[in-house]
Amino acid sequence: MSTFKILNKDSLARRGVLSTLHGDINTPAFMPVGTAATVKGVFTDDVHKTGSEILLGNTYHLMLRPGSEVVKQLGGLHKFMNWNKPILTDSGGYQVFSLSDLRKITDKGVEFKSHIDGKKIFMSPEDSIQIQMNLNSDIVMVLDECTPFPATYEEAQKSMYLSMNWAKRCKNYFGNNPNSLFGIVQGSVYEDLRLDSVKQLTDIGFDGYAVGGLAVGEPQDDMFKILDYTCPALPEDKPHYLMGVGKPEDILGAVERGIDMFDCVLPTRSGRTGQAFTSLGPINVRNAKYKLSNQPIDINSNNPICKNYSLGYIHHLFNAKEMLGGMLLSLHNIYFYQEMMQEIRKSIEENNLKDFSKKFREQYNSRVE
């Protein structure tokens, strides 16, 4: 079971520490995504060096390959992937949501076809919890239905009620497990549904509360509006997690509204396609203007990639289709995110988040590619 301690507040933003069986997590925290028990293209030791304190693993992918029983027999997910710090596993709900043409959802659970071999698989809320218990993740997520955007009120209400029913079943099955279980708020863009979802989850009682069903196509303003009324309703003494978010400015805006935890594939996915995050805004290293550049990716960063490799070299690697290019850029991007989170935490400690946010946004939007 995790414990959460708030060390300081700056308006709605919180600086805290989440303690788990595999160590402490300083919040606000960003979790690199290790979908299939690996952060794509990055050695585990290198992920450690970025300051990452928790990774996200994926129930859906690991249940299909190699199978959660295999991971259990090999000592659990931490030992399997050589990561001795905390791990959060998502329940598989989002992946099933993305398989819209291959799945069927009922009150009992979800039936879907494997994207690997087309085999039919059924997963109930209890199955999702058991798989995550086999993986031995520190933070287990309830199975939910990720409501698509846009959705009518009736669709969102039906979906939310289904997720709340599944949340109860997950809690009952989880029992007295020593790890932690987080509930997930649903309700699309409808305030009364979101607040109803928060109340139902709070009544059930969880170790933390996630806001789900965002970053699925809605404008940033809508996302922030939903957080404006959802976050104050969440239990103050528990961690608040915004799932699948996001871009640096999304994270900053969500921290300002009371969110403590984030995950997103952007740092590594962007890294593999040539996009680098920098303090002056994102750049595409494949752009011809970087061919002769002796500059680092980010002139304001002292991370090992910026210290040791020029933009011109990384441009060459992408041009030559060398895998090292994507590896270096993915690692750089994780460093960027973790350095940003460190600065956010420091600014909350010093009650200076408003000034930091203003400077960060001005600088981040200063570059014209």
The residue ranges of every structural domain in the chain are 3-263, 271-364
In the annotation, is 90 catalytic? yes
pTM of the model: 0.97
Beta strand residue intervals within the chain, DSSP E? 3-10, 13-20, 23-27, 29-32, 55-58, 87-90, 103-105, 110-113, 120-123, 139-141, 180-185, 208-211, 240-242, 261-264, 275-276, 283-284
pLDDT at 361: 98
CA distance 33 to 60: 14
What confidence tier does 250 reach under pLDDT thresholds 50, 70, 90?
A: very high
pLDDT at 92: 81
Sign of the alpha-carbon torsion through 26, 27, 32, 35: positive
Q: CATH number of the domain at 3-263, please?
A: 3.20.20.105
CA distance 96 to 108: 15
pLDDT at 318: 98
pLDDT at 313: 98
What confidence tier does 112 reach under pLDDT thresholds 50, 70, 90?
A: confident
* Active-site choice (46, 90, 138, 207): 90
pLDDT at 289: 97
Q: How do residues 162-199 score in pLDDT, each as one tens digit?
A: 999 999 999 999 999 999 999 999 999 999 999 999 99
CB 255, CB 28: distance < 8 Å: yes
Q: How do residues 322-365 score in pLDDT, each as one tens digit?
A: 999 999 999 999 999 999 999 999 999 999 999 999 999 999 99
pLDDT at 27: 99
Helix axes 311-319, 323-349, angle to 10 degrees: 140
* Active-site choice (10, 144, 260, 263): 263
pLDDT at position 286 over 90 = yes
pLDDT at position 214 over 90 = yes
Percent of the chain with pLDDT over 70: 99
Q: How do residues 96-109 score in pLDDT, each as one tens digit?
A: 777 777 788 999 99
Q: How do residues 58-89 score in pLDDT, each as one tens digit?
A: 999 999 999 999 999 999 999 999 999 999 99
pLDDT at 73: 98
In the annotation, is 10 catalytic? no
Mean pLDDT across the chain: 96
pLDDT at position 114 over 90 = no
Place of tokens 């460093």: 335
Is the bond into 246 cis (omega within 30 degrees of 0)? yes
Q: How do residues 12-25 score in pLDDT, each as one tens digit?
A: 999 999 999 999 99
pLDDT at 108: 96
pLDDT at 93: 77
Give me the count of residues in the chain: 369
